[in-house]
Structure 1
Amino acid sequence: MLALFAMLAGPAMAQTTLSAESDASVAEEQPSYAALADLLPADDRWRHRHGTPGHGRSHVMPALVPPYATLPVLGGRLALGTWQSLCLVDLNVDNHEREVRFSFLTG
């Protein structure tokens, strides 16, 4: 069976990504998380300054990491690499509620 799995995170300041890290549940230990923190530091450089310091980076993040992912499904399983997992990335500490939508399309 060939199908597609789609995931959409919202509101607009949460993103989805594939991770090849050894333990995707520990975000602070992932090299990709550290790279995002280096690219988008939580400091006062952002013009969009409501909320906690660094909140503006949450509005820039979708330019680097999209809020959606579409993945193939083969034989009823996500077709991921050996170490890959689908992750939700959310740097916005001001809003603790997120909605994640999943779709499954068979063909």
Structure 2
Amino acid sequence: MEIEIRTGSSEVVHDLTGECERFLSDVDGDGLLHVWVPHATAGLAVLETGAGSDDDLLAALRELLPPDRRWRHRHGTPGHGRDHVLPALVPPYATVPVLGGVMALGTWQSVCLVDTNVDNPVRKVRLSFLPG
């Protein structure tokens, strides 16, 4: 299944947990949920949201990957080259165990799209279930 997420024109950590749960609503067995972002400038993270961790992640990424003109990859908004390095630190995939059709996440864990690319306001996310 493929879903479309509108991330807008600012850096964002977008919680995908609800979309993942809807995708798994017809699953009653065990297996793995695989989440994939087919973009060269976005990634996926499993982290707590809503208590500041999502903003902390974006702040840490700005420190590690400053949005300035140091990058050799230079098309798009100044500093856009850092967006192409992001998937090396925040990978474009996540795999979550599923037990009885429910993601086996920890109490505060969420599956999140991490997008620092302000030039691309729409993202696709692919979800697949591997029974087992």
Q: TM-score, normalised by structure 2?
A: 0.72
Q: Give the partner amino acid of 2:114.
A: V
Residue equivalent to 1:11: 39
Q: 1:14-93, aligned counterparts within 5 Å?
A: 14-21=42-49, 23=50, 27=54, 30-93=55-118
Q: Measure the CA separation in 1 of the matches of 2:122 and 2:84.
A: 16
Q: TM-score, normalised by structure 1?
A: 0.87
Q: Measure the CA separation in 1 of the matches of 2:56 and 2:115.
A: 16
Q: Measure the CA separation in 2 of the matches of 1:35 and 1:85.
A: 18
Q: Measure the CA separation in 2 of the matches of 1:96 and 1:20.
A: 23
Secondary structure (helix, strand or coil) at the match of 1:6 reads: strand
Q: Measure the CA separation in 2 of the matches of 1:40 and 1:78.
A: 31
1:34-75 deviation line (CA, Å, top 9, x unaligned) = 111111111111111111011001111111111000110012
Q: Measure the CA separation in 1 of the matches of 2:122 and 2:107.
A: 31
Q: Give the partner amino acid of 1:35.
A: A
Choose between structure 1 and 2: higher helix proportion: 2
Q: Give the partner amino acid of 1:13.
A: T
Q: Give the partner amino acid of 1:4.
A: L
Secondary structure (helix, strand or coil) at the match of 1:31 reads: helix
Number of positions where the alignment pairs a residue of Structure 1 with one of Structure 2: 104
Q: Give the partner amino acid of 2:96.
A: L
Q: What's the Cα RMSD here?
A: 1.9
- In structure 2, stretches of 5+ residues that fail to align are 1-28
Q: Measure the CA separation in 2 of the matches of 1:106 and 1:77.
A: 12
Quick check: 1:98 aligned with 2:126?
Answer: no
